[in-house]
Structure 1
Amino acid sequence: MTLETVQIAHGATLAPDNIPLHFGDTRREYHAALETAVLMNRSHEGRIELVGDDRAAFLHRMSTNDLLNMAVDEGRPTIFTNPNARILDRAIVYNREGRLLLLTEPGRAQALLDYLQRQIFFNDKVRLHDVTESTRQFALHGPQADAVMAALIPNATDVPPLCGVATTIADVPVFVARRKPISESHWVVVVPFEHAAAVWTTLLEEGEPHGLVPAGSLIYNTLRIRAGRPAGRELSTEYIPLEVGLWDEISFTKGCYTGQEIIARMDSRNRLAKAMVRLILRAPLDAPTTLFHEGRVVGTLTSSVITPDDEHLGLGVVKFDVADVGVILSAGEGGVEAEIVARAGTLPPQLVGEETH
Structure 2
Amino acid sequence: MAHPLDLEQTWLYPLPEFSLIALQGEDRRRFLHNQTTNAVETRTVGEWFETVFVNSTGRTLELATVYVRQDSLWIQVEANRKDFLWQWMDRFIFPFDKVELEDLSAHYRAVVLLGEKVEQDHLGWQLPAGNQWLAQSVQGVELLVSAQTGLDLPGYTVIFPATQQAVIDQLWGDLAVITPDQWEGLRIHQGRPQANKELTEDYNPLETGLWRAISFTKGCYIGQETIARLNTYQGVKQRLWRIALDRPMEAGTVITLEGQKVGVLTSVKGLTGLGYLKTKLADQGATVQVGEAIGTVEKPPYITHEYYQGPN
TM-score, normalised by the number of residues in structure 2: 0.92
Paired residues of 2:152 and 2:302 also in contact (CA < 8 A):
no
Q: Which residue of 1 aligns with 2:275?
A: 316
- CA offset digits 1:120-159 (Å, max 9, x no partner): 01111011110001111111122223335532xx221xx2
Write the mapping of 1:108-119 to structure 2, written as runs, cut at 5 A.
108-119=81-92
Q: Structure 1 residues 268 and 189, CA, compared in 2 at 3 Å: closer, same or farther? A: same
Q: Tell me how far 1:105 sits from its aligned partner.
A: 2.0
Q: 2-side partners of 1:148 and 1:188: how far apart? A: 16
Paired residues of 1:271 and 1:351 also in contact (CA < 8 A):
no
Q: 2-side partners of 1:349 and 1:53: how far apart? A: 35
Q: Which residue of 2 aligns with 1:155?
A: 126
Q: Which residue of 2 aligns with 1:337?
A: 294
Q: Structure 1 residues 124 and 215, CA, compared in 2 at 3 Å: closer, same or farther? A: same
Write the mapping of 1:232-243 to structure 2, written as runs, cut at 5 A.
232=195, 233-243=197-207
Q: 2-side partners of 1:50 and 1:149: how far apart? A: 32
Q: 2-side partners of 1:32 and 1:168: how far apart? A: 30
Secondary structure in 2 matching 1:265: helix
Matched, 1:135 2:135: no
Q: Which residue of 2 aligns with 1:17?
A: none
- Tell which deviates more after alignment, 64-73 or 193-202: 193-202
Q: Structure 1 residues 349 and 109, CA, compared in 2 at 3 Å: closer, same or farther? A: closer
Q: Tell me how far 1:180 sits from its aligned partner.
A: 5.4
Paired residues of 1:109 and 1:130 also in contact (CA < 8 A):
no
Q: Which residue of 2 aligns with 1:194?
A: 163
Q: Tell me how far 1:183 sits from its aligned partner.
A: 5.9
Q: Which residue of 2 aligns with 1:214?
A: 177
Among all aligned residue pairs of Structure 1 and Structure 2, give the percentage whose two residues are the same amino acid: 31
Letter in 1 for 2:274: L
Paired residues of 1:277 and 1:344 also in contact (CA < 8 A):
no
Matched, 1:273 2:232: no
Q: Tell me how far 1:72 sits from its aligned partner.
A: 1.0
Q: Tell me how far 1:64 sits from its aligned partner.
A: 0.3
- Tell which deviates more after alignment, 260-269 or 110-119: 110-119
Matched, 1:69 2:32: no
Q: Which ranges in structure 1 are unaligned for 5 or more consecutive residues?
A: 1-29, 206-211, 307-311
Secondary structure in 2 matching 1:121: coil
Q: Which ranges in structure 2 are unaligned for 5 or more consecutive residues?
A: none
- Tell which deviates more after alignment, 273-282 or 196-205: 196-205
Paired residues of 2:211 and 2:306 also in contact (CA < 8 A):
no
- CA offset digits 1:180-219 (Å, max 9, x no partner): 55363132111111112222331235xxxxxx41112111
Q: 2-side partners of 1:229 and 1:102: how far apart? A: 18
Paired residues of 1:230 and 1:244 also in contact (CA < 8 A):
yes
Paired residues of 1:66 and 1:251 also in contact (CA < 8 A):
yes
- Tell which deviates more after alignment, 225-234 or 323-332: 323-332
- Tell which deviates more after alignment, 55-64 or 230-239: 230-239
Q: 1-side partners of 2:251 and 2:101: how far apart? A: 36
Q: Which residue of 1 aligns with 2:186?
A: 223
Q: Which residue of 2 aligns with 1:144?
A: 117
Q: Which residue of 2 aligns with 1:262?
A: 226
Secondary structure in 2 matching 1:198: helix
- CA offset digits 1:98-118 (Å, max 9, x no partner): 111111124322222121111
Aligned length: 307
Q: Tell me how far 1:220 sits from its aligned partner.
A: 1.0
Q: 1-side partners of 2:306 and 2:91: how far apart? A: 38
Q: 1-side partners of 2:105 and 2:66: how far apart? A: 15
Q: 2-side partners of 1:104 and 1:314: how far apart? A: 23
Letter in 2 for 1:155: Q
User: What CA RMSD, in Å, does the superposition of the two structures yield over aligned residues?
Assistant: 2.0
Q: Tell me how far 1:228 sits from its aligned partner.
A: 1.1
Paired residues of 1:278 and 1:316 also in contact (CA < 8 A):
yes
Matched, 1:295 2:266: no
Paired residues of 2:147 and 2:157 also in contact (CA < 8 A):
yes
Q: 1-side partners of 2:4 and 2:273: how far apart? A: 19
Paired residues of 1:303 and 1:315 also in contact (CA < 8 A):
yes
Q: Which residue of 2 aligns with 1:184?
A: 153
Q: 2-side partners of 1:348 and 1:108: how far apart? A: 25
Matched, 1:165 2:122: no
Q: Structure 1 residues 124 and 118, CA, compared in 2 at 3 Å: closer, same or farther? A: same
Q: 2-side partners of 1:83 and 1:69: how far apart? A: 23
Paired residues of 2:151 and 2:187 also in contact (CA < 8 A):
yes
Secondary structure in 2 matching 1:271: coil
